[in-house]
């Protein structure tokens, strides 16, 4: 009997070879991220040596648990070094590891809530732009913090005047994105941080997406607006190693300007018959594989490797942007800073192209562009530099088909999803 598609708990076991054959066969129809036509969920580094290293290291540390870091000395050293690397890259005073962007954001919101509580705030509030990642809404929902979301300007950036007007003595955290997911634009961080500092509250920069790319983008000589701890008033930053840090899933870093603020996310408990439970993040058991993978990826690539990969991402970005501009009738939203952006119909066009139809044709040709509310989302990895010409040619055809009267299925479809039985 097939292991796949069973509803009840499997009565009998399935042999390893059978099971692997089944899964391999099933997976052969899944989205092929190595082909360069997938975006955002997998960062295609297109580096076989790095992939070999990651597979090996994941296997070696598959079963280790960093719940008690002192039991696995190698993991402990790797985590400590990894955090030191992150502190050095971002000029942070303290750093901790988490399982992903959402957990890092939870920790930043928790820290802010605790800091506000120490100032007597009992009904804390978080102020951010509407482009902030849904993880902030989720964190506020879980942690009992009120969320104030503000409109953005025509370029998709937070508006300092609106933020200043919204901040009150209840504000626990002012949030900016570097960059935001939907448009890839960087909020005016110096202004937001100054507003937070003036109000005596914390300012978090969500660089989950761009954190490990922007420092190298800057070294390439590209324009990067100020966003990190060099900006006075920025108190914490989230940056995911499993995004442009190029490790496999399961690691993010949460960085603080100073160690005292970071201590607010520490949880200690000894009121039970077991030993002292101390933890810097939400998870209890922490899988060793992602920690080892993140460490090995950074050591293998080094700044030199990250710079080389940033160069490939930049080349892909230039190519995709040129293809969008040349297709006609399309416009990139706002002024994206790096390799993440949205494109949609040019509103100045007398007869705007149906972007849903463009998306349908692109889907038929095997591209998997996410459909946002106002257009299609592009997030480029190093491996996308191989598909620039194919993208340009398919996009030109897609626009031509949309222009010839085809109507599309629409935009604004799923970003995240729920799996039920």
Q: Which residues contact ligand PLP by CB under 6 A?
A: 100-102, 133, 135, 177, 180-181, 206, 208-209, 240
State how far the Cα of 320 lies from the Cα of 376, in Å rounded to an integer.
13
Minimum CB separation of residue 177 from ligand PLP in Å reads 6
Minimum CB separation of residue 386 from ligand PLP in Å reads 23
State how far the Cα of 129 lies from the Cα of 135, in Å rounded to an integer.
13
Q: Which is nearer to ligand PLP, 35 or 134 (CB)?
A: 134
Q: Which is nearer to ligand PLP, 72 or 246 (CB)?
A: 246
Extract the tokens encoding 242: 């499993």
Instruction: Return the residue nearest ligand PLP (CB atom).
Output: 101
Minimum CB separation of residue 406 from ligand PLP in Å reads 31
Contact 339, 316 (CB under 8 A): yes
Minimum CB separation of residue 371 from ligand PLP in Å reads 16
Which CA distances in Å does 269 have to 41, 143, 161, 273, 329?
Answer: 36, 19, 43, 11, 60
Contact 271, 242 (CB under 8 A): no
Q: Which is nearer to ligand PLP, 138 or 403 (CB)?
A: 138
Alpha carbon 59 to chain centroid, angstroms: 25
Q: Which is nearer to ligand PLP, 83 or 388 (CB)?
A: 83
Q: Which is nearer to ligand PLP, 291 or 345 (CB)?
A: 291
Minimum CB separation of residue 279 from ligand PLP in Å reads 19
Longest alpha-carbon distance in the chain = 72
Contact 254, 240 (CB under 8 A): no
Query: Within 10 A of 130 (CB to CB), how many other CB atoms are there?
Result: 12
SS3 364: helix
Q: Which is nearer to ligand PLP, 252 or 262 (CB)?
A: 252
DSSP structural state of residue 338: S
Minimum CB separation of residue 12 from ligand PLP in Å reads 37
Q: Which is nearer to ligand PLP, 67 or 137 (CB)?
A: 137
State how far the Cα of 420 lies from the Cα of 230, in Å rounded to an integer.
45
Minimum CB separation of residue 35 from ligand PLP in Å reads 21
Among 127, 185, 134, residue whose Cα is nearest residue 160: 127
């Amino acid at each position: 009997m097939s292991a796949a598609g069973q509803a009840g708990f499997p009565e009998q076991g399935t042999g390893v070879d059978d099971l692997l054959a089944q899964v391999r066969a099933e997976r052969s129809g899944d989205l092929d991220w190595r082909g360069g036509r997938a975006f955002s969920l997998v960062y295609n580094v297109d580096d076989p040596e790095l992939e070999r290293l990651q597979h090996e290291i994941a296997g070696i540390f598959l079963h280790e648990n960093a719940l008690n870091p002192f039991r696995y000395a190698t993991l402990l050293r790797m985590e400590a070094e990894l955090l030191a690397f992150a502190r050095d890259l971002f000029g942070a005073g303290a750093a901790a590891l988490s399982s992903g962007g959402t957990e890092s954001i939870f920790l930043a919101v928790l820290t802010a809530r605790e800091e506000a509580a120490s100032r007597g705030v009992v009904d804390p509030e978080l102020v951010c732009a509407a482009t902030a990642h849904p993880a902030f809404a989720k964190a506020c929902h879980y942690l009992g913090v009120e969320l104030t979301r503000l409109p953005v300007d025509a370029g998709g950036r937070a508006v300092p005047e609106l933020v200043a007007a919204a901040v009150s003595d209840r504000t626990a955290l002012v949030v900016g994105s570097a960059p935001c997911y939907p448009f890839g634009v960087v909020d005016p961080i110096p202004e937001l941080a100054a507003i937070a500092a003036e109000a005596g509250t914390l300012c978090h920069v969500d660089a989950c997406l761009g954190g490990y790319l922007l420092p190298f983008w800057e070294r390439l000589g590209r324009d990067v607006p100020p966003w990190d701890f060099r900006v006075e008033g920025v108190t914490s930053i989230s940056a995911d190693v499993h995004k442009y840090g190029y490790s496999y899933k399961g690691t993010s870093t949460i960085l603080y300007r100073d160690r005292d603020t970071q201590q607010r996310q520490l949880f200690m408990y000894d009121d039970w018959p077991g030993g002292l439970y101390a933890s810097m993040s939400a998870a209890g058991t922490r899988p060793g594989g992602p920690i080892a993978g993140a460490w090995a990826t950074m050591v293998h690539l080094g700044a030199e490797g990250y710079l080389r990969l940033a160069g490939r991402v930049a080349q892909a970005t230039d190519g995709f942007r040129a293809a969008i501009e040349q297709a006609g009738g399309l416009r990139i939203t706002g002024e994206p800073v790096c390799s993440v952006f949205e494109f949609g119909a040019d509103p100045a066009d007398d007869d705007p192209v149906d972007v849903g139809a463009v998306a349908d044709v692109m889907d038929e040709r095997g591209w998997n562009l996410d459909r946002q509310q106002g257009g299609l989302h592009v997030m480029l990895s190093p491996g996308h530099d191989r598909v620039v010409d194919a993208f340009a040619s398919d996009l030109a055809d897609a626009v031509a088909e949309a222009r010839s009267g085809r109507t599309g299925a629409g935009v604004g479809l799923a970003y995240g999803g729920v799996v039920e039985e």
